[in-house]
């Protein structure tokens, strides 16, 4: 058993947290900025890596380092929001100055209004997949829900957005 423990330790010991920070800082920063705002993002990102440094031994070899870090970042963002006694401002989309050329039938204002119809869980799903660029499985791990739940949340979120944007009724 001791051998197994030592093997596991050698795996985590081989992970250099400063190199991990260099490799993943940008994606963690953007993830945090979407949730706590760009002003607080660097502080929350730093706390994410400090927490990761302390918890590095609990990282499962073979797991995705990226989703492990984003899970910690998600928690740090919530902690930040709780500390400042406000909901994560996250999940609020900042409208692009120029509309997408491929979907001119969707105005930024209409999209913004449609997003307000989503539940917090649906918004989180949309941001994780559409903005953070995670797969359903990765997004589910970060949100702490089964992949099927993530898929369902996205389906209903997009059904709501589509109906709101096209004016379609049931």
Number of residues that bind another protein (CB under 8 A): 82
Q: Is 51:72 a contact under the CB 8 Å cutoff?
A: yes
- Contacts of another protein in 137-166 (CB under 8 A): 140-146, 151, 154-155, 158-159, 161-162, 165-166
Q: Is residue 53 at the binding interface for another protein, with CB under 8 A as the rule?
A: yes
Q: Is 129 in the site for another protein (CB under 8 A)?
A: yes
Q: Is 89 in the site for another protein (CB under 8 A)?
A: no
Alpha carbons 141 and 132: distance in angstroms, whole number = 13
Draw the binding track, 12-41, toward another protein (x: CB under 8 A; -: no contact): -x---xx--xx--xx--xx--xx---x--x
- Among 55, 61, 65, 113, contact with another protein (rule: CB under 8 A): 55
Residues 97-126 that bind another protein (CB under 8 A): 99-100, 102-103, 105-106, 108, 111, 120-121, 124, 126
Contact 115, 161 (CB under 8 A): yes
Over the Cα atoms of the chain, what is R_g? 19
Q: Whole-number minimum distance, CB 116 to another protein, in Å?
A: 14
The alpha helices in 37-167, defined as continuous H runs, are: 38-55, 65-83, 108-115, 120-126, 136-143, 147-166
Q: How far is CA 13 from the centre of its chain?
A: 27
Q: Rounded to whole angstroms, how far apart are CA atoms 159 and 170?
A: 11
CB of 89 to another protein, least distance (A): 12
DSSP 58: G
Nearer to another protein, 14 or 130 (CB): 130
Does position 170 bind another protein by CB under 8 A?
Answer: no
């Amino acid at each position: 058993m001791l051998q197994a423990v030592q093997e596991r330790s050698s795996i985590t010991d081989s992970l250099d947290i400063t190199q991990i920070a260099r490799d993943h800082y940008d994606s963690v920063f953007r993830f945090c900025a979407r949730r706590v705002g760009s002003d607080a993002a660097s502080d929350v990102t730093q706390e994410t890596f400090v927490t990761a440094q302390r918890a590095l031994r609990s990282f499962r070899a073979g797991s995705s380092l990226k989703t492990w870090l984003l899970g910690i970042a998600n928690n740090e963002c919530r902690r930040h929001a709780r500390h400042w006694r406000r909901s994560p401002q996250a999940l609020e989309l900042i409208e692009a100055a120029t509309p997408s050329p491929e979907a001119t039938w969707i105005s930024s204002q209409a999209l913004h209004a449609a997003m307000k119809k989503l539940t917090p869980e649906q918004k989180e799903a949309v941001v994780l997949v559409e903005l953070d660029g995670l797969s359903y499985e990765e997004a589910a791990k970060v949100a702490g829900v089964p992949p099927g739940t993530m898929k369902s949340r996205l389906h209903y979120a997009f059904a709501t957005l589509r109906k709101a944007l096209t004016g379609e009724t049931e």
